[in-house]
Structure 1
Amino acid sequence: MSSTNTRKRTLGEPERNGTRMGTRPAPSIDEIWGDLEKGLNEIYSRQTMTPTRYMELYSRVYTYCTCVTYVGDQNRIGGARTSRPSRAARTNNSTAVGAEFVGLDLYNHVKQFFQTFVENVLLNGGDLNGEDVLKYYTSEWDAYRFSSKVAGGIFSYLNRHWIKRELDEGNDNIYEIYALALVTWKEHLFVHMRHSVTSAVLKLIERERNGEKINTMLISGVIQCYVELGVNETDSSIVAGPSSGSTPHSDRSPKLRVYREYFEKRFLEDTEAYFAHEAAEFIQANPVTEYMKKVETRLKEEKQRCDLYLNPSTQEVLAKTLEKVLISKQLELFQNEFGNLLEANKDADLERMYTLCDRVENGLDELKAALEKHIARQGEAALDKIADVAINDPKQYVSTILDVHKRYHQLVTCAFKNEPGFVQSLDKACTAFINRNNVTKKANSTTKSPELLARYCDLLLKKSAKNPEEGEMEELLTQVMIVFKYIEDKDVFQKFYTKMLAKRLVNELSASDEAESNMISKLKQMCGFEYTSKLQRMFTDTSLSKDISEKYKQYLSSSNIELGLDFSIMVLGSGAWPFTQSSVFDIPRQLDNCIEQFTKFYQAQHTGRKLTWLLSMCRGELSTNAFQRKYTFTTTTAQMALLMLYNDSLEMTMAQLQENTKLKHEMLIQIVHALVKVELLSIVGQHVEVDANTPPTTILKLNLTFANKKLKVDLSKTMMRTEVRQETVEVQKSVDDDRRMVVQAAIVRIMKMRKRLKHTQLITEVLAQLSSRFKPKVPMIKKCVDVLIDKEYLQRVEGEKDLYEYLA
């Protein structure tokens, strides 16, 4: 049995040759740094580096970082640690100098290399100025930046492990290798050259503003450098917590403090000074219109400049700086010129001024006020020129208003981009000059505008030889609604329109049922159902009336009843139509049977209903045989009753005419005056005027020599001017009565809800509630309050004379 010499090793005993399985001795920093430094010099001297050489350097870093260092009796195995001591513990424990310090030594050597290299760059270019310093700085920066990225790749293992651990533990003095290169550039070169570099950049920008061609790549290179040098800035708004899932070094992306503090701040100061000087000189030598064009050009150029070589974050603050110096400080200049541009119709310049002033706070306020005053003046001036004619010419009145509105609506739409404030200025101005102008003054009526607009609608919708086509009619009605929108007294328009629509429907004078319906729809859309409810019912009545008329004809035919004349009838509901039985007189006996037969028929169909005959609204045709030519006269019923008396006698006195017709004296005078004027009747004997003082014995003779170019003569038109005057008076009285009731109803509604209210508050709420229909005068509201107090709807609170209380 042979024996073998063996030797037991204790756990911590090293191998004889200094190695044991699973470990190898770590190279010292001095052993590897020589080649690494040589490699870095190759990189930063811009020598070509082969992939093999790159991997050789990378492997040296890897080998150094992954080997274990033994100190004394340490027996740690290749980085297999169960726990990592704290930074303080590792610093104080002289035995814990393994892999933790391997990275630190290498990191410090790299840091020193960067510092030495950057100091040499500074040494070679620190005294340069102007464009030379920019060329040197950007050239060195581009090369340094590229080389540092290559170096970062070589030391990427150090980044991923040792540096990452340091960052994770909050060591703010450690950076990844590329970031370390940037920080070194910033701390050892940038701080010394920043003033000369920034000054050179600003000088180059000034030269470009003066029209010179420059090398913009020099500027963009510097700007890119300034932005990237923010690599070691931290953002206090981002805090990585233990449960946030993020790490402190996640905020290592470049920030803009360096760029803003060392370039942008000075750039904005220079910009303001440059353009303040330029603006002052340019305004001295050029008109405002040219200055605005200059500002437009400069704003565009500076935006392009920012897009080309500045950081995007500068765009907004640069624009604000330019707006302050070029626009805000010149607002008074713009405002003074605005009126001149309006007078001269310089729409392009007005649009330019709007665009510029819209960029600054409150820049448009004065322009809006000036536009409102200008439009109001133009509208008043336009109506003043035609006041004498327009007071009786609705078409010219409305057309003039529309011309003014069209001009300034186009201006607001195109030049002022329909900006709400300018639209409001247009609306306020139109409301002012449409409701209060020289025409309303001459008429001595604040409600003349709604009356003339209603009469214009009547002209459009009434049958005539010049009725517009369907498409044109739609456009004209749309224009009517433009004016209607600005009418304050919409209730007055409603009264006149209702009366005129009634006449068109009764006399079958509507140009088109479709046009009538279209107009009602437009009014309903703007003012609501209640505003047009009566108009709609009138339409319904005319349709029902046609059915009744057809049934009446069938009744006459089936009953073999001959009336002896062509008789048609319309049955209207009394609640919707604006007619009253204004006058009663004896109708021609030939009509008695017609009325009797229809009354009998209708009451058989509708028991309990009462028929009221509106004789003043009736029309008829008379055929003549007394003149050289055979005429057909269209007359009112009253004219017909008077003229048919001349079938029995060619001469009659005023007294006889009144006796036989039972007409009221004022109505008789109106009819006779109109017939004398058209020379159908003549006064026998001494010439006298037909008026209220005409003697009853005055003889009126049928003029057998009467002649007219037309065979069909409408005598009813001779009464129209008188009817128009009467209609205006009647409408105004009706409106006043209606308004009093509407105001009282509004007061009751408000007080019922509020229970108690002060006088001024009540006035304000009534005005607000009724403004869409009309603007009641304050004295009217006060009178209505007194009426309601008398009626015991309200009472004054004792001791508080201006406080009202609602009585349930």
Structure 2
Amino acid sequence: MSSFTKIQVHEAQQGEDRVNSRRKRNSSNSENISKRVKIDEKSMTDTTTNNQKRANFSALSNPNGVNKSPAINAKPGAAKKLVIKNFKEKPKLPENYQEETWEKLKEAVIAIQTSTSIRYGREELYQAVQNMCSHKMAPTLYANLTNLTEKHVRANIMQFIAESMDRHIFLKKMNECWLSHCQQMIMVRGIFLFLDRTYVLQNPTIHSIWDMGLDLFRQHIVLNTLVQTRTVEGLLMLIEKERQGDTVDKSLLKSLLRMLSDLQIYQDAFERKFLEATERLYAAEGQRLMQEHDVPEYLAHVDKRLNEESERLIHYLDPSTKWQLIHTVEKQLLSEHLTSILQKGLDGLLEENRVSDLTLLYSLFTRVKNGLSELCSSFNTYIKKKGRTIVIDPEKDKTMVQELLDFKDKMDNIVCQCFQKNEKFANSLKEAFENFVNQRANKPAELIAKFVDSKLRAGNKESTEEELERLLDKIMVLFRFIHGKDVFEAFYKKDLAKRLLVGKSASVDAEKSMLSKLKQECGGGFTSKLEGMFKDMELSKDINVAFKQHMGNLRYPSLHLANIDLTVNVLTMGYWPTYPACEVNLPLEMVQYQNIFKKFYLGKHSGRKLQWQPTLGHCVLKATFPQGNKELMVSLFQALVLLLFNDASDLSLEDIKIATGIEDGELRRTLQSLACGKARVLQKTPRGRDVEDNDRFQFNKDFANKLFRIKINQIQLKETTEEQKATEERVFQDRQYQIDAAIVRIMKMRKTLSHNLLISELYNQLKFPVKPADLKKRIESLIDRDYMERDKDNPNQYNYVA
């Protein structure tokens, strides 16, 4: 190789000298031509001399034998022309020229193959090839070169057949042989370039010199069964070692695999066996690691293997192998274990909120067929199972809504971060929530309404307005999943009434914001009564302002009304929850004040009727204790009891009951709040937490409290079963009315309809869950009330009765 380099440099120098020499001659010739063109007419008379000059000119400017002589016009002053004429005879080659020239070329080729110095210059050898091709010796020259190359390649094969050597050494020698062969063919082609560009191009059936060299190498080395087997097995051995973590010569792998690709036997000789070995390796590895590792470790290993195989494709494997290789790894490590991975680890990853592991899981499952479908299905199953445990268990009622909100946030975060906001997963999440939230009829709707109530009360100081707004948005998401939205409305309206009447709303803006969200979600019909409640409260403010002005203009000298400040909320009965009517014994001053207000109100709104609701009243009493004066914030019932102690110091349960007229159960809870709670303004004898029949009560002179205004909470039965049932009963009755109205509306439009079609229409129109048996009962009720009738000829068909 070194000798060749020296020859090349030497020849390059010689070539440069020749080029300079030619430039000088051409420059001289140009000057001569310029001088000769300017021959005047007088000098043309010497024919012999001029002909001799033209002969010299032709010989000098046409080394290839083309005769160029100027044509001299007979007329003086005419233009001069050059006429080109060929030699009469072609130059003859010396005898034995072909044999001698081939020997020279053969010697040069053998010198290249044996890495020895070449005696001849490259340009001389190139010129020799050109001369032989010009004299129609190209077929013989090509055949001789092919034979000489084949002989050399055949000689090289013997070292790989005869010797029994280590695989790694074998691969190195094979690589050296290949690289040497490629380098030699490049040098040989440089000498025989003229042959390649003329004879080979003119004969499409003949390989180029480079392709001829590849073809011979393929025939005599790689397609030899023993050599090919050793080569492929050696390559597979190196790749297997690398997969096991050993360091291997990647450049050697790359070179030999490039050799197989250049020889066009990569797919047949190597790729099939390589993919089979890959499949066997990862099939066994997948089975073993699924048993040994937990899911996060297994997923990390799969990701590592896929990255490693991608690196191999970059460093030495042919790009054509990419799809099959990656597909094989994905199939053996993922596709074959999809169900096992999901059953073994998905629930744990979701439960522990393993975001990075879930992200990797999603990324890997996107690579295989049905991966995302399986993952989405298992994700949906987990949500239903987990959500059902939250909703069904009555012991979790107190925390149900907060747990649902936290669970929804967690799943939303997983869909957003881990599952790349995949719409299929987002829809599956919604479907799962809607499924399990309605597994327990009515209760989730009731608890969501109560949760909203707890957040909208004035005592809720745990969040800012912005945080409360965000929380309401989240609650609305849960609200959308509920089928029985009328149950939510009933409980929400009851709680809203308490907040408005007792003045315990955290924020009017928050209340109206929630109302706006409900209206946007369910329409104006859903919120019309709720909006009416707000309207009543605003009108009541105006009425009370007018009433105070009215009282200022009146004088009642016989009454002690100056110490009483009366505020009345006038409620439209259809907007507010239904409250049970009860009669209690009010002090004379209160009764008189009520009568004055009634006269004032009816004077402005004739034809209306006022019905007082003592259960909703509340008072602020000024109390004098030895420890100091206090203001007591109490309910009307508590106020009636305390006012009795202005005239008596010791009263029995029965005495208080007769004096106030309060219902027994309500009275006991009222006395319990005054004598057994935190702020004990009364004393009970005997002591105890419950009020018994023979108990007596006294004014507590020793009462002390650091606050001036003290709130004495009324002890409530935990939303009494009766109260809860009453609310549910109202919802049930409303549903009956809605079903009846829907049936009549449909029959009025259709006139005649079969039972099945009527049921189908009702399911489309009704917005709450209903059973076929309930619908059948309502149809029978309407038939009994003559709104519709059965067809006499077809009992399964109904007719509308006009």
Q: How does 1:5-44 map to 2 (within 5 A)?
A: 21=84, 34=102
Structure-2 residue corresponding to 1:201: 235
Q: Cα deviations across residues 14-73 of structure 1 (Å, max 9, x unaligned)? A: xxx998846676999969984777776677667899999369738965x888x7x9xxxx
Q: How does 1:363-762 map to 2 (within 5 A)?
A: 363=371, 387=394, 394=398, 396-401=399-404, 446-464=441-459, 467-470=462-465, 473-474=468-469, 476-477=471-472, 480-481=475-476, 484=479, 487-520=482-515, 523=518, 531-532=526-527, 534-536=529-531, 538-539=533-534, 542-543=537-538, 545-547=540-542, 549-550=544-545, 553=548, 564=562, 565-571=564-570, 576-578=575-577, 582-583=581-582, 589-591=588-590, 616-623=615-622, 632-637=631-636, 668-677=663-672, 678=674, 703-704=698-699, 717-718=714-715, 720-721=716-717, 724-743=720-739
Measured after TM superposition, the shift of residue 751 of structure 1 is: 9.0
Distance 1:33 1:799 in 2: 118
Question: Which amino acid is the alignment partner of residue 134 of structure 1?
Answer: L
Residue among 306, 318, 321 paired with 1:311: 318
Structure-2 residue corresponding to 1:225: 259
Measured after TM superposition, the shift of residue 321 of structure 1 is: 0.9
Measured after TM superposition, the shift of residue 175 of structure 1 is: 6.2
Which stretch has the larger CA shift, 130-139 or 287-296? 287-296
Measured after TM superposition, the shift of residue 320 of structure 1 is: 1.6
Structure-1 residue corresponding to 2:10: none
Structure-2 residue corresponding to 1:121: 153
Distance 1:282 1:480 in 2: 44
Question: Which amino acid is the alignment partner of residue 57 of structure 1?
Answer: Y
Q: Are the structure 2 counterparts of residues 642 and 222 from structure 1 closer, same or farther at C-alpha, using a change threshold of 3 Å?
A: same
Classify the secondary structure of the residue corresponding to 2:319.
coil
Q: Are the structure 2 counterparts of residues 759 and 276 from structure 1 closer, same or farther at C-alpha, using a change threshold of 3 Å?
A: farther
Residue among 309, 323, 336 paired with 1:329: 336
Classify the secondary structure of the residue corresponding to 2:620.
strand
Conservation of the 8 A alpha-carbon contact between 1:26 and 1:64: no
Distance 2:215 2:788 in 1: 84
Structure-2 residue corresponding to 1:215: 249
Classify the secondary structure of the residue corresponding to 2:717.
helix
Q: Are the structure 2 counterparts of residues 176 and 459 from structure 1 closer, same or farther at C-alpha, using a change threshold of 3 Å?
A: same
Q: Cα deviations across residues 372-393 of structure 1 (Å, max 9, x unaligned)? A: 66666666667898x55x55xx
Q: Kindly indicate whether residue 284 of structure 2 is the aligned counterpart of residue 267 of structure 1.
A: no
Classify the secondary structure of the residue corresponding to 2:223.
helix
Conservation of the 8 A alpha-carbon contact between 1:541 and 1:571: yes
Question: Which amino acid is the alignment partner of residue 487 of structure 2?
Answer: V
Classify the secondary structure of the residue corresponding to 1:721.
coil
Distance 1:804 1:41 in 2: 109
Q: Are the structure 2 counterparts of residues 261 and 716 from structure 1 closer, same or farther at C-alpha, using a change threshold of 3 Å?
A: same
Conservation of the 8 A alpha-carbon contact between 2:383 and 2:429: yes
Question: Which amino acid is the alignment partner of residue 152 of structure 2?
Answer: N
Distance 1:717 1:406 in 2: 36
Distance 2:684 2:237 in 1: 103
Q: Cα deviations across residues 419-476 of structure 1 (Å, max 9, x unaligned)? A: 667667766666666555xxx7xxxxx4233323322322222122855444554565
Greater gyration radius: 2
Conservation of the 8 A alpha-carbon contact between 1:334 and 1:353: no
Classify the secondary structure of the residue corresponding to 1:496.
helix
Measured after TM superposition, the shift of residue 732 of structure 1 is: 0.7
Measured after TM superposition, the shift of residue 354 of structure 1 is: 5.8
Q: Kindly indicate whether residue 126 of structure 2 is the aligned counterpart of residue 57 of structure 1.
A: yes
Measured after TM superposition, the shift of residue 652 of structure 1 is: 10
Measured after TM superposition, the shift of residue 270 of structure 1 is: 1.0
Q: Cα deviations across residues 725-775 of structure 1 (Å, max 9, x unaligned)? A: 4542232122223334455667789999999998778767866776xx643
Distance 2:753 2:119 in 1: 94
TM-score by length of 1: 0.66
Measured after TM superposition, the shift of residue 197 of structure 1 is: 2.8
Distance 1:191 1:801 in 2: 88
Question: Which amino acid is the alignment partner of residue 717 of structure 1?
Answer: Q
Structure-2 residue corresponding to 1:779: 773
Measured after TM superposition, the shift of residue 604 of structure 1 is: 7.6
Q: Are the structure 2 counterparts of residues 724 and 344 from structure 1 closer, same or farther at C-alpha, using a change threshold of 3 Å?
A: closer
TM-score by length of 2: 0.67
Question: Which amino acid is the alignment partner of residue 368 of structure 2?
Answer: V
Distance 1:792 1:520 in 2: 40
Classify the secondary structure of the residue corresponding to 1:197.
helix
Which stretch has the larger CA shift, 28-37 or 194-203? 28-37
Distance 1:418 1:732 in 2: 39
Measured after TM superposition, the shift of residue 509 of structure 1 is: 0.6
Measured after TM superposition, the shift of residue 269 of structure 1 is: 0.7
Q: How does 1:223-302 map to 2 (within 5 A)?
A: 223-230=257-264, 258-280=265-287, 291-302=298-309
Distance 1:55 1:738 in 2: 112
Classify the secondary structure of the residue corresponding to 2:458.
coil
Measured after TM superposition, the shift of residue 502 of structure 1 is: 2.3
Which stretch has the larger CA shift, 646-655 or 199-208? 646-655
Question: Which amino acid is the alignment partner of residue 145 of structure 2?
Answer: F
Distance 2:732 2:319 in 1: 66
Structure 2 unaligned regions, length at least 5 = 1-46, 48-63, 68-83, 676-680
Conservation of the 8 A alpha-carbon contact between 1:463 and 1:509: yes
Distance 1:548 1:455 in 2: 31
Conservation of the 8 A alpha-carbon contact between 1:651 and 1:702: yes
Distance 2:129 2:406 in 1: 89
Conservation of the 8 A alpha-carbon contact between 1:588 and 1:640: no
Q: Are the structure 2 counterparts of residues 412 and 57 from structure 1 closer, same or farther at C-alpha, using a change threshold of 3 Å?
A: same
Classify the secondary structure of the residue corresponding to 1:214.
coil
Distance 2:433 2:800 in 1: 39
Question: Which amino acid is the alignment partner of residue 304 of structure 2?
Answer: T
Conservation of the 8 A alpha-carbon contact between 2:657 and 2:664: no
Q: Cα deviations across residues 269-308 of structure 1 (Å, max 9, x unaligned)? A: 1111122334455567666765555444333322222222
Distance 1:714 1:581 in 2: 25
Distance 2:257 2:381 in 1: 50
Which stretch has the larger CA shift, 774-783 or 20-29? 20-29
Classify the secondary structure of the residue corresponding to 2:663.
helix
Conservation of the 8 A alpha-carbon contact between 2:625 and 2:703: no
Q: Are the structure 2 counterparts of residues 165 and 454 from structure 1 closer, same or farther at C-alpha, using a change threshold of 3 Å?
A: farther
Which stretch has the larger CA shift, 736-745 or 583-592? 583-592
Measured after TM superposition, the shift of residue 400 of structure 1 is: 4.9
Q: Are the structure 2 counterparts of residues 456 and 228 from structure 1 closer, same or farther at C-alpha, using a change threshold of 3 Å?
A: same
Q: Cα deviations across residues 673-699 of structure 1 (Å, max 9, x unaligned)? A: 3344445999999xxx999xx9xxx9x
Measured after TM superposition, the shift of residue 491 of structure 1 is: 2.7
Conservation of the 8 A alpha-carbon contact between 1:338 and 1:350: no
Q: Kindly indicate whether residue 327 of structure 2 is the aligned counterpart of residue 320 of structure 1.
A: yes
Measured after TM superposition, the shift of residue 266 of structure 1 is: 1.7
Classify the secondary structure of the residue corresponding to 1:620.
strand
Question: Which amino acid is the alignment partner of residue 131 of structure 1?
Answer: H
